[in-house]
Structure 1
Amino acid sequence: MDQVDVLICGGGPVGLLTAHCLARYGLSTYVIEQHERLKQTLYGRAAMIAPRSLEMLEQLGLADGLMQMGFVVRGQITYRDGQRVEDEQLGSVDASETFFDYLLLLRQKYTEDIIGAAYKKCSGRSIHYGTKLHGYRLIKDASDNEVEATISAGSEPDTRTIQCKYLVGADGGRSTVRSLAGIPFEGDISNRQFIRIDGIVETDMPDARETNIIIQSHSHGNVLWACLDQGVTRIGFSFPEHLYKTLGAKISKEDVIHEAKKALEPFTLSFSRIDWWTAYSVGQRLAADFRAHDSVFIAGDAAHTHSSAGAQGLNIGIHDAVNLSWKLAGHVKGWYADSVIQSYTKERRPAAAAVIEQDKLLSVLYAGELPEKYKNDRNADRNKILASLMKQGSRNITGIAIAYAAENPTLVEFSNKTVPAGGRAPDALVQRPGIRVPIRLLTLFGNVGKFTILTFSGDLPKTSRAVKSWREYVDKHDNPSLLRAEVFQHLTIMYVENRRASPEELLGVPPFGFTSYDVDGSAHDRYGVPQDEGGVFVLRPDGTIGTACKLDEGLKVSDYFRGFLKEQVQAANGTDRDKSASGTSTPTQVVAEIELDKA
């Protein structure tokens, strides 16, 4: 019987990313995917990776591989009746907010390949394709394994068991894990149909391989033209209702090609190769909870589904995986109280609900119709409404504006409102000692499952006393929350122009971890840190701001960590060791047994 920390069901991007994160954090994992890899649809599916997702993936060591293959899109243009519509350009990313000022278009197969390879390299484990989950039972034993799952590979009749502390379902909209856990999947599926087709195309439409394009079609709503990797283009459009009633499930590839040509009129279109096509029903559904039985979690499409109108499916799944992983890892290691695990649903479910509410409007507008709320407005113009909604929601679509309410102990409000608790940690350009070439702040610390304590020195002639106070506080042996080095990492950001002297000489005390220079004050400004005061920011492993304080308010940092670190971690002074899911099995007490035919 195999014993691991976490069993992950689902070999798509969300399951693989969860596995990769946990492996980076030192946990043992086992990944199963019910479909055989070679028999799966190799192309198509999710393709757009948003700027905030790229930031998160970069800190996990994954962005470079993706960027080597993907198509970079900055902005979007619109055509109506064969003419470019200048006042309805959408999709631009504000370069003042992120250095990833673009969308990356890459087909899901390649995203899976890159994340899967990184997981194998990090963990030394393979992904078990063609392996199904049949059921699980909840147990209690001396090794803290709370789930015993029954699985089988391929067509083999024999089953085997996996014991784990946690079971994660990232197994899609028809999730077996969600079904077994009895989590309601609430929402609606409409008769509205969308078509997606990927291939190598020839067209007389201008800018065909320059950027993403929207064609405002009289017959097929707003037609999506997306440039993908390796010269492939994706065309997406609404399936007209009269054709749906005529063809329905009988729609063929030839029908799709015919409709794609009509949708692109007055431009011409032909395909020299087709890699993938699909017709799907639009629906918005949300799981009632993202956790069940304390030790079972769901993420990605298993927890929420919607149309591809805003291209958000993969991205909110990435946020799920990163959010859940650091919390699971810290809990397995005995660092965090259960309130940290509970915050996963509290944070991610409202974020998914917001995407779904937006999608209810976007999917109707992309289909060429007016949402119900606008139908009594005689002056309503669906294209103008769509443009307005896209512009209003652009920061959410890019992920830059995604933030969490301070409803759990890892988010503690503070007086600085430039970047509030629960918001994204800003990036900025800084310099390393001796090197005058700027480097991005977020590249100086990767996501290894630790909190990051950023010390902003401020203008040292004015802040030297406060810096010394912070140094003395961190060095105190009666400060247990700051003794557990595994939980956090330090980084010092010094506001200085003289970069010849060593960091310690300039700072006047030993630096707090790795040091970088904020030569023009832009990093201090991005975080709203007064240069005559300096300050301390605590970032969660997922790049979310946890709290902040002044340099002479060290007690607030300790109080913050005491709010969710377990008492034995606070008092251990580095002497307790992390538990692992290994060793011989011990007598178990079955709490509940859940099988697929009983769910």
Structure 2
Amino acid sequence: MRGHGDDEVDVLICGGGPVGLLTAYCLARFGGVSSYVVEQHERSKQITYGRAAMIAPRTLEMLDQLDLADALGQIGFVVRGQVSYKHGERVESLTAASSNISDTFFDYLLLCRQRYTEEVIRDGYDRYSRRSVHYGARLVDFSVGSRDEEYAVKSAVETKDKGTISVRSKYIIGADGGRSRVRELAGIKFEGEKSNRHWIRIDGVVETNMPEARKGICGIESPSHGSILWACLDHGVTRVGFAMPEQLWEEIGANISREDVTREAQKALQPFTLEFKTVDWWTVYSVGQRLAAKYRKDERVFLAGDAAHTHSSGAAQGMNTGLHDAVNLSWKLAGRINSWLSEEALDTYAAERRPIAQRIIEQDKIISMLTGGEIPEQLKGDSDADAHELLTKTYRKNTSMNTGLGITYPADGLTVVASKTTLSQKIRPGERAPDVLVQRPGLRVPVRLHSITKNRGRFTVMLFCGDLNHTQASCKNFREYLDDPTSFLRYPVDIFQGVTIIAGSNEAGSPDERLGTPSFGDTCYDVDGLAHDRYGIPTSKGAVVVTRPDGTIGTVYGFGSGASLSRYFEGFVAVQKRVGLDSQRTSESVPNSGTGEVDLEREDGSQKNRRVVYETG
């Protein structure tokens, strides 16, 4: 029961950094889920220029589908190349951080300091939400009631302007960093260790005689400071980063000053000169890797971002991984709160995201040692390569992970590999859906498929119709299935959007006339056949590709597999329970109660009548 003065909200989000803000933004965008974001630091007073800066290609794709990438692109520094130096001479790239990026239109890194990233996301959140971020507020305590309570989480929040307030929520999310209060109160272990290695990061406006200093990213091999990071940031600022020599740490330690770190930066950059005209931000931090034992507890408590995983900034994966956490969690949580998705769908958040963090941490352990000039035990048998050469190999080996483009999820209820795996040899469920160029009816200017399939918390059902000279009959049959009361469109939920893609010219005619039936969603044309080719779908057959809201391929079916597609959605869409079905399960329209005859579609497209019993639940 609601207590006097309690505030009720769907989700309490602790942490107003990029991860917490993006989660709140997505929840509001995906069905109007309300959130209350509390952040203990006063952003207007705290120096927040530094911290995370690199936004990877896959993250940019995801932000673009959320209508946030354009604003960030107006601020950040675009990096498509880099240079490396050793003893003042240009050499082969030491990190290859911005090379080998392919299969995306965001084929670059965007360097934008965290303050500006937060501003862009917060502006988006303010457009969707009646409540803005509450700065100067921190979580004091929370408890989780019975699972039958709607607002089962009761929290005490200490604020500077309103005193301590009580908040009731359906869920609570800890996006409050490595020292997460939510994780601490939930009793979730933070497993891992810290090393004795310390890294320095300095942001400022600099002058140097190093060639191509504003190229974007420079890798500099220093005999005294390991591999030096040189990154061009927004507003003419440069970030210089390097490993702090052990001897210096032993001599100065916690008493290190700005003068000390700038002097070390000048030594590290030799033989090039370096002068800091301004210093916006600097930090010294110990390198360590930690992973939360659980991402979810008591059904109502979730962790995301640094609250769930921490590692060095060597591969710039911290914020990127956290933003991926936010997108993955938010669409599932919004679907559950709106009674669109089942509890099992929400369970997949931890199952999908935690293994990704584990992989990043294992990679980071190697990178952090190599950056400081140490060679990990497992790499010591790699011929006579030194730490810098091994660092280059490590980055190149993990390019798909570092860019985010190669992140995949295992098969689960949301990611299903159909039995007919020969439908496509180029894409598989669990992978990122490729972005390709298509054309709208009549327009000769190409448009990206990802810009058509924006992320609004819905599953996108893409009908790759192929060449209609060969596929028109099967496309028409599938369209009839969609209109039938046995199709997945019968579900009273707002989580489906359609796209119809026709191979061929868009010069003349209307989409419906070409198809011989109403199109499903917006229609676009694959004029040169390259979209079908990238998805590995023969234009002589066509196929149905389902992508999840986060842009991950959910499943792929042929046009004759309507019943299978209905069963796919039946696995996680929150609808009435069914009883009395035999082992050959199918999807059918579910009335409130009683019995009835329904037409069921077989795998081959034929029909069969079956007597079924319905029970609401």
TM bucket (normalised to shorter chain) is: over 0.9
Q: Is the Cα contact below 8 Å between 2:304 and 2:325 reproduced in 1? A: yes
Distance, in Å, in 1 between the alignment partners of 2:387 and 2:138 is: 45
Helix, strand or coil for the counterpart of 2:58? helix
**Within the alignment, does 1:508 sit opposite 2:516 as a pair?**
yes
**Within the alignment, does 1:450 sit opposite 2:458 as a pair?**
yes
Letter in 1 for 2:485: H
Q: Which moved more, 1:486-495 or 1:216-225?
A: 486-495
Q: Which residue of 2 aligns with 1:411?
A: 415
Q: Which residue of 2 aligns with 1:591?
A: none
**Within the alignment, does 1:422 sit opposite 2:427 as a pair?**
no
Q: Is the Cα contact below 8 Å between 1:483 and 1:574 reproduced in 2? A: no
Q: Is the Cα contact below 8 Å between 2:82 and 2:215 reproduced in 1? A: no
**Correspondent of 2:541 among 533, 544, 555:** 533
Q: Which residue of 1 aligns with 2:109?
A: 103
Distance, in Å, in 1 between the alignment partners of 2:35 and 2:313 is: 31
Q: Is the Cα contact below 8 Å between 2:482 and 2:488 reproduced in 1? A: no
| TM-score where L is the length of structure 2 | 0.90
Letter in 2 for 1:409: G
**Within the alignment, does 1:139 sit opposite 2:154 as a pair?**
no
User: How much identity, in percent, do the aligned residues show?
Assistant: 54
Distance, in Å, in 2 between the alignment partners of 1:31 and 1:180 is: 18
Distance, in Å, in 2 between the alignment partners of 1:209 and 1:482 is: 56
**Within the alignment, does 1:75 sit opposite 2:90 as a pair?**
no
Q: Is the Cα contact below 8 Å between 2:94 and 2:219 reproduced in 1? A: no
Q: Which moved more, 1:183-192 or 1:143-152?
A: 143-152
* Offset of residue 479 of structure 1: 2.7
Q: Which residue of 2 aligns with 1:172?
A: 177
Helix, strand or coil for the counterpart of 1:454? strand
**Within the alignment, does 1:33 sit opposite 2:39 as a pair?**
yes
Q: Which residue of 2 aligns with 1:359?
A: 364
Distance, in Å, in 1 between the alignment partners of 2:251 and 2:481 is: 74
Helix, strand or coil for the counterpart of 1:39? coil
Distance, in Å, in 2 between the alignment partners of 1:476 and 1:500 is: 30
Distance, in Å, in 2 between the alignment partners of 1:359 and 1:153 is: 37
Q: Which has the higher contact order (CA 8 A, sep 6+)?
A: 1
TM-aligned CA distance change 1:506 to 1:145, over 3 Å: same
Q: What are the residue-to-residue correspondences of 1:223-372 with 2, within 5 Å?
A: 223-372=228-377
**Correspondent of 2:217 among 207, 212, 219:** 212
* Offset of residue 566 of structure 1: 2.0
Q: Is the Cα contact below 8 Å between 1:70 and 1:106 reproduced in 2? A: yes
Q: What are the residue-to-residue correspondences of 1:372-411 with 2, within 5 Å?
A: 372-375=377-380, 379-406=384-411, 408-411=412-415
Q: Which moved more, 1:489-498 or 1:538-547?
A: 489-498
TM-aligned CA distance change 1:483 to 1:337, over 3 Å: closer
* Offset of residue 153 of structure 1: 0.4
Q: Is the Cα contact below 8 Å between 2:101 and 2:403 reproduced in 1? A: no
Distance, in Å, in 2 between the alignment partners of 1:512 and 1:155 is: 51
* Offset of residue 87 of structure 1: 6.0
Distance, in Å, in 1 between the alignment partners of 2:70 and 2:520 is: 29
Letter in 2 for 1:12: G
Q: What are the residue-to-residue correspondences of 1:35-184 with 2, within 5 Å?
A: 35-86=41-92, 88=94, 90-94=96-100, 96-140=102-146, 144-154=150-160, 158-184=163-189
**Within the alignment, does 1:549 sit opposite 2:553 as a pair?**
no
TM-aligned CA distance change 1:206 to 1:286, over 3 Å: same
Helix, strand or coil for the counterpart of 2:528? coil
Distance, in Å, in 2 between the alignment partners of 1:504 and 1:440 is: 22
| TM-score where L is the length of structure 1 | 0.93
TM-aligned CA distance change 1:87 to 1:337, over 3 Å: closer
Letter in 2 for 1:453: V
* Offset of residue 53 of structure 1: 0.3
Q: Which residue of 1 aligns with 2:447?
A: 439
**Within the alignment, does 1:16 sit opposite 2:29 as a pair?**
no
Helix, strand or coil for the counterpart of 1:18? helix
Letter in 2 for 1:240: P
Letter in 2 for 1:40: Q
Q: Is the Cα contact below 8 Å between 1:198 and 1:233 reproduced in 2? A: yes
Helix, strand or coil for the counterpart of 2:576? helix
Distance, in Å, in 2 between the alignment partners of 1:151 and 1:366 is: 41
Helix, strand or coil for the counterpart of 2:36? strand
RMSD: 1.8
Distance, in Å, in 2 between the alignment partners of 1:126 and 1:155 is: 15
What count of residue pairs does the alignment treat as equivalent?
A: 573
Helix, strand or coil for the counterpart of 2:350? helix
* Offset of residue 481 of structure 1: 5.2
* Offset of residue 484 of structure 1: 3.5
Distance, in Å, in 1 between the alignment partners of 2:304 and 2:382 is: 39
Distance, in Å, in 2 between the alignment partners of 1:261 and 1:52 is: 34
Helix, strand or coil for the counterpart of 2:248? helix
Q: Is the Cα contact below 8 Å between 2:81 and 2:215 reproduced in 1? A: no
User: For 1:212-233, what per-residue CA distance to the aligned partner results, in whole angstroms no more than 9, with x for missing partners?
Assistant: 0010000000000000000000
Helix, strand or coil for the counterpart of 1:509? coil
* Offset of residue 91 of structure 1: 2.5
TM-aligned CA distance change 1:504 to 1:58, over 3 Å: same
Helix, strand or coil for the counterpart of 1:400? coil
Unaligned runs of 5+ in 1: 576-599
Q: Is the Cα contact below 8 Å between 2:228 and 2:241 reproduced in 1? A: yes
Distance, in Å, in 1 between the alignment partners of 2:545 and 2:383 is: 51
**Within the alignment, does 1:7 sit opposite 2:12 as a pair?**
yes
Letter in 2 for 1:553: S
Distance, in Å, in 1 between the alignment partners of 2:378 and 2:100 is: 30
Letter in 1 for 2:470: K
Q: Which residue of 2 aligns with 1:585?
A: none
* Offset of residue 482 of structure 1: 4.5
User: For 1:108-134, what per-residue CA distance to the aligned partner results, in whole angstroms no more than 9, with x for missing partners?
Assistant: 000001101110111122100010111
Letter in 2 for 1:289: K
**Correspondent of 1:221 among 226, 240, 256:** 226
Distance, in Å, in 2 between the alignment partners of 1:255 and 1:574 is: 74
Helix, strand or coil for the counterpart of 2:195? strand
Unaligned runs of 5+ in 2: 1-5, 578-586, 593-617
User: For 1:526-561, what per-residue CA distance to the aligned partner results, in whole angstroms no more than 9, with x for missing partners?
Assistant: 111111100001110000000011112111210100
Distance, in Å, in 2 between the alignment partners of 1:376 and 1:489 is: 53
Distance, in Å, in 1 between the alignment partners of 2:102 and 2:471 is: 29
User: For 1:442-486, what per-residue CA distance to the aligned partner results, in whole angstroms no more than 9, with x for missing partners?
Assistant: 001211111000000011111111101111111111335554451
Distance, in Å, in 2 between the alignment partners of 1:93 and 1:466 is: 43
**Within the alignment, does 1:465 sit opposite 2:473 as a pair?**
yes
Distance, in Å, in 1 between the alignment partners of 2:93 and 2:430 is: 35
Q: Is the Cα contact below 8 Å between 2:486 and 2:588 reproduced in 1? A: no
User: For 1:156-195, what per-residue CA distance to the aligned partner results, in whole angstroms no more than 9, with x for missing partners?
Assistant: 6x42111111100100000000001111000010110000
Distance, in Å, in 2 between the alignment partners of 1:399 and 1:270 is: 35
Q: Is the Cα contact below 8 Å between 1:467 and 1:551 reproduced in 2? A: yes
* Offset of residue 396 of structure 1: 0.9
Q: Is the Cα contact below 8 Å between 1:93 and 1:398 reproduced in 2? A: no
Q: Is the Cα contact below 8 Å between 1:455 and 1:491 reproduced in 2? A: yes
* Offset of residue 88 of structure 1: 4.7
